[in-house]
Amino acid sequence: MLRILLFLGTNLAIMAVISVTFRLLGIDGLLMQNGVDLNLNALLIMSGIIGFSGSIISLFMSKWMAKRSMGVQIIEQPSNKTEQWLVQTVRLQAERAGIGMPEVGVFNSPTPNAFATGWNRNDSLVAVSTGLLQQMNSDEVEAVLGHEISHVANGDMVTLALIQGVVNTFVVFLSRVIGHVVDRVVFKTERGYGPAYYITSIIAELVLAFLASAIVMWFSRRREFRADAGGANLAGRQKMIAALQRLRMAHEPEALPDQFAAFGISGGIGSGIRKLFMSHPPLEERIAALQLMR
């Protein structure tokens, strides 16, 4: 509940900061001098509603979406020793992390992977792939589970939804301002909105959203290091390192859907510009960080 209140409070704070900043910079007066009749406060409220509504809906539907899109089979009653061990390990780690018992599930994928999702730390889902169970030993799987439990305990789902909402608000707001200015100043539209407003707003929103995604991915990569450290605390540092080394041996790991990729275990491969848009740091960096951890 505290994180949800933080979620809503941050939304209001961001809108207030934008409004005050525009006033201090005299943006309102500058727009009026150029004949741009734009109500920034109304636009800001609309942008906040649009920006955060998608994040909130995705957050609350995350478990349902995971079960449907990934075909996750929830372990209601363990039917074999592997399932019994999975449920028991998650229960022990959840108790140590101070969170409610997550749902535990398995999804069909030949590559080793796992993810955690859910709208709060006491109503979450931890799922592992069949490939992970087949290709990793029990110590490595334990570390992967610890990594995912740490994502839940750290509140990463809510935090990234909050960040995405803030970014979306800025993108919607700035794209509409740009579209309005171009329509009024460049194309001299006097009443209503001309084609230039819609075309410019759409282009600006696409460009800004692409650039803003780098900010979200930066936060996601920082959270990944923290989840690795949490997994090391729950399962043991050497087990966590071994799990990441095993993942590094997997060739071309299958990507999770976008809404779950940030909370998976598998890392990507990239460099230069591409690295800015990765949800996970390179596995080599994650392993090095664990080796330096005390």
- Name the residues annotated as catalytic: 148
Name the nearest CA neighbour of 52 among 151, 159, 156, 163.
163
Whether 239 contacts 142, CB under 8 Å: yes
Place of tokens 């991915």: 217
Distance between CA atoms of residues 126 and 249, nearest Å: 23
C-alpha angle 51-53-55 in degrees, rounded to nearest 5: 80
Whether 201 contacts 132, CB under 8 Å: no
Name the nearest CA neighbour of 147 among 284, 264, 281.
264
Name the nearest CA neighbour of 83 among 19, 130, 50.
130
Distance between CA atoms of residues 248 and 292, nearest Å: 19
- Phi, psi values for residue 228, rounded to 5°: -60, -45
List, in order, residues 6 or more apart from 123 with CB less than 8 Å away. 63, 100
Burial of 56 (0-12, 13-18, 19+ CB in 10 A): middle
User: Where on the phi/psi map is residue 252: left (φ > 0), alpha (ψ -120 to 50), or beta?
Assistant: left
What distance lies between CA 58 and its chain's CA centroid?
Answer: 10
